[in-house]
């Protein structure tokens, strides 16, 4: 479900929020009001998997990107059909071993995995997909 901003999401979801390590603000669009008011896309299954991934990874996950409004997605060079336009996340690699982070994402049920130099893209698409961002192939070889 799409909410216009994190405040509206917090009001609507406050009694059912069960994800202690993540907030609507960090998963909301980061366009800074240039295109939207910080839209938030709520998906309980995605958040359950994110909490599971955090547990499997053995520590905090720093999200560098969550939901993106269409304007922000275009502005940052996102794919026209980007999963970020609904719900996806990019997780900072720093502080994690790449193989463990990838194992945690797989184990938590993420099926869209984009392997980059400084982040791991995760989403939950129907048909599994894995891709390398330019220049990252050798970093992820196990």
Domain-wise residue ranges, the chain: 2-139
pLDDT at residue 142, as a whole number: 60
The residue written with tokens 């990107």 in the block is 65
* Residue with tokens 């295109």, as numbered in its chain: 35
pLDDT of residue 36: 96
- Nearest Cα neighbor of 27 from 76, 61, 56, 74 is 61
Distance CA 132, CA 142 (A): 14
- Tell me what pLDDT residue 141 has: 76
CATH number for region 2-139: 3.30.1380.10
pLDDT tens-digit profile, the chain (142 residues): 999 999 999 999 998 999 999 999 999 999 999 999 999 999 999 999 999 999 999 999 999 999 999 999 999 999 999 999 999 999 999 999 999 999 999 999 999 999 999 999 999 999 999 999 999 999 987 6
Contacts 24+ apart (CB under 8 A), 53-57: 53/104, 53/105, 53/107, 53/108, 53/110, 53/122, 54/21, 54/104, 56/103, 56/104, 56/107, 56/108, 57/96, 57/100, 57/101, 57/104
């Amino acid at each position: 479900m799409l909410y216009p901003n994190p405040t509206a999401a917090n009001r609507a979801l406050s009694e059912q929020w069960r994800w202690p390590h993540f907030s609507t603000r960090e998963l909301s669009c980061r366009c800074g009001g240039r295109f939207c008011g910080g839209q938030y896309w709520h998906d309980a299954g995605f958040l359950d998997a994110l909490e599971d991934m955090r547990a499997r990874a053995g520590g905090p996950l720093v999200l560098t990107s969550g939901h993106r409004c269409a304007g922000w997605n275009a502005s940052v060079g996102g794919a026209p059909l980007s999963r970020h336009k609904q719900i996806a996340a990019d997780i900072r690699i720093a502080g994690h071993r790449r193989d463990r982070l990838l194992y945690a994402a797989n184990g938590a049920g993420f099926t869209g995995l984009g392997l980059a130099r400084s982040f791991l893209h995760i989403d939950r698409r129907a048909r599994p997909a894995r891709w390398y961002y330019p220049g990252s192939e050798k970093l992820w070889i196990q």
